[in-house]
Structure 1
Amino acid sequence: MKLIVGIILYCLFPYVRGKQSTQQKKLESLKSLIFNNAKATVTLNSTDLKQLLSLSTPTLGKANTAYSGRKIGFYVTLKSDMNYGKLQTVKFDNIFVNDENDSTCVFTCPAAGTYMFVVDVLLNKHTQLSLRLNKTSVARLYRDSSYSPHVQVSKTILLKLKQGDHVNVVSEYNNVFINGYLYSGFTGTFLY
């Protein structure tokens, strides 16, 4: 708890030590605080996380000019159970958020930067999916048939993207069955 309070105070109050520090000094102190308490659980709210990310960018808190304050993110799910063939793109057809993206099948990067993607699927048989960047697998989700009938499988990754890059989820096997009804989804968001 002391660690959490320390991080929050440090991020929100630049005058804690009596004078305003440079961004680099703040980042080094924050890194030290985290590394020295590596076995502790650190909880950051969204404001703290944004502050940490702004401190850790190579521009030391300067805005990404390609980003220009645009909102980039999406969260889509499957409306119903679906079957897919080998190398078929999974079409998430239930849109909750879709900022800066025209399709629910393939995310097209509108601005260069670092993005976080999450694939979360409910599977009921031997299955393999992949998250692809420009038709190249960058992460895989696998479900072995020896487990219980339904298994929730999830993968979270960070990717450095260039404008125009494509990211999508693809079935690696024939006859891949994915449960819908909000059990399976695909999320992506611009970080910095």
Structure 2
Amino acid sequence: MSSDSDYIENDLLRRIADGDEVAFTELYNRYWKKVYTYLLRMTKSHEIAEELLYDIFTKLWTGRELITDIRNMDAFLSKVAYNKAISFFRYTATQRKMQELVAGQMADLYVEDTADKLLDGEARQLLQEAIRQLSPQRKLVFTLSREQGLTHEQIARQLNLSTQTVKKTMSHALQSIREFLHKRGLESSLLLYFYLETRK
């Protein structure tokens, strides 16, 4: 960066530190595309890249009093974008583990407290196995619907998913359970049919 460019950017940062929103918009327009492209390359998701980009610049504005301490904005934003992406991956991994743990506990609780009153013997055990073999997300959506009686919209809000995603996930979960039970000769059970088809 030339000395003239350095002067222009330093002046821009001073204006931002003073709360100049126009100056901040100028800074954003200067760097957003490069940061977004970097985040997209790392996360492979437009939605996630946009969310992380928004978070980066929101916090940059919130801490604007210290922005003049940044000597190389390009390098600074690249480092921040990298750290944001890594933090997101770590958080996602943690959430998957937590969802799997919670879903497992919820499934156990539901089978013991509710399914136990509906089914007995081998059928109850097979139903429990069918729930356990679901993926973590399907298991969580399924148990939220079956145990707590939440609607698709309520589940979507709670898990920060789209309603359509919840519907598809629930449909896949039900299909998986049906196939599991069908292979074990329980397809004719009216009780199981009612259990699987209610609360859609």
TM-score class, shorter-chain normalisation, is: under 0.3
- TM-score after normalising by structure 2: 0.25
Higher relative contact order (CA 8 A, sep 6+): 1
- TM-score after normalising by structure 1: 0.25
